[in-house]
Each structure stands twice: as C-alpha cells, then as structure tokens.
A and B are shown apart, each in its own frame.
Chain A
Amino acid sequence: MTVLWMIAGAIAMVAVLLVLVRLITGPTLIDRLIASDVLLTTLILVVGAEMVISGHTRSIPLMVVLAATAILASVAVARFVTRATASPATPDAEEGSDVR
C-alpha cells in the first residue's frame, strides 16, 4: 500500500517539477498562465490524495474553495492580457459595460 502511495507521490513530484520548468522559461505570458493553472490543479489533486493517504476528510473545504476560485486568476489575467494588447477587433470600451 505504502509503495503505491509513494509511486503516486513521486510521479506527481516529477510532474510539478516539469510544470515549473515551463512556468520559469515561458516564453509568453500565456504559457506561464497555463503552467500556473496546471500547478493549482495539481495542488488540488495532491490535497485530495493526502486525504486518501492519511485517511481523513478534513481538507474537503479546502478542495472546494480551491476548485471554486481556481478560475479567478486565469480569467483576470487573460482579460488583462487581451486588453493590454488592444485587439483592434474589439472596442474595449464596451467590455466594461457587461458588469452591472
């Protein structure tokens, strides 16, 4: 049993290290955004796996919060990036009007 858990942990660790490589090397902001998204999802997975391994369920609220807020960072940065590089096809003045 412990062996299986250690295998899973080792694989996850290698995965996180690879994601970190992409996070650091970029090259574009979008790449880093994607990489940090993967990192966050991996964090949710690891929190869940830890509950299985230690046999408790106390971290479920943490998982819920992480899953619910994971979107915020990507959407905020994606919007910001799109706006900063003024895409000529979208009059950005209109974009603010959808928040009521």
Chain B
Amino acid sequence: MFGEEQWNSILDIAAASLLIVAALLTLAAAIGLLRFPDPLSRLHAATKPQILGLLLVVVAIALSARSATVLLLLIPVVVFQLLTAPISAHMVGRAGYRNGDFEPSTLLVDELAADVDAARGSELPGGSWDDEADGGSSNPRGAGS
C-alpha cells in the first residue's frame, strides 16, 4: 500500500499537525487569560487546554521518534501533569477564592459563601471545611475496610 518513505512523511505531517493544534490550544489559553473577567475564570482558561496540548505534543514526539521506549519514557511526563495540574489548580483557586479575587457579579450562584458564613458562625470554624490530614479525623470513617 504505502512505501516506507510515504509512511515516514505521513507520520511526520501528523506529528507537525499535532504540534500546531497544541500551539493553538496554548494560544487559546493565552487569549482566555487576557479576556476572562476574573482570576477564577482565568484559571479555567489557563490550566486545562494546556494538559491536552501536552498530551498532543507527547503523541507527536512518539510519532516522530517511532519508538516504544520513547513512549515509555514519556508516560511519567503525562502522569505527573495529570496528577499535579488539578492540585495546583485547586490550590490557586482556593487561594483566589479566599482572598476574594473574583467578581461576585459573575457568579450566578455561590453555594460556598453561605456555608462559609455558617461555619464562621458556629463553634468550630476550622477543620470542618479544611482538607488537612490531621490525625484526629483521618481514619474513623474507614468506609472501605
């Protein structure tokens, strides 16, 4: 069907196209960063299209190198990014929310604000809405065991 040379050029063009799509996603993220009204929305534009862009670049590298070992080496890149991007987005988002770096007018509903007020009013303001791994609450639920 295809000679080796044709296959090579098809794979190269596929890799180059993936690079362009990844670059476009980055551009979209950058535009979103400029145009969205408040930091929380900008966070959306910033972090996510990037992960897809990284996936595409990784596929492009594997396509152009045409080697399984390279793909194996690239798996940690994807795994790290998939695991860490949500964490940093959450940390940044939480900081942004707690600092009030957002436009309340753009929020249709804010079901967190009501709960925060309730928590502040009660006797135990902390702990209940923080995710700390403090020993006191780490195990008693034990749904699995």
Q: Which residues on A are within 8 Å of B, measured CB to CB?
A: 1, 4-5, 7-9, 11-12, 14-16, 18-19, 21-22, 28, 30-31, 33-35, 37-38, 41-42, 44-45, 48-49, 51-53, 55, 57, 60, 63-64, 67-68, 70-71, 74-75, 78-79, 81-82, 85, 87-91, 94-95, 97-98
Contact = CB atoms under 8 A, between A and B. Distances in A.
Nearest to B67: A57
B130 interface: yes
A49 B57 contact: yes
Contact of B46 (A7, A35, A60): A35
A82 to B, nearest CB: 4
Chain A's interface: helix, strand, loop or mixed, by majority? helix
Contact of B16 (A1, A19, A33): A1
A52 B29 contact: no
Contacts of A31: 39, 42, 101
B77 A63 contact: yes
Given A8-B23, A68-B80, A97-B134, A34 B15 contact: no
Which secondary structure dominates chain B's binding surface? Answer: helix
A70 B96 contact: no
Contact of B88 (A28, A74, A88): A74
Interface of B: 9, 12-13, 15-17, 19-20, 22-24, 26-27, 29-31, 33-34, 39, 42-43, 46-47, 50, 53-54, 57-58, 60-61, 64-65, 67, 70, 73-74, 76-78, 80-81, 84-85, 87-88, 91-92, 94-96, 98-99, 101, 116, 119-120, 125-127, 129-130, 132-134
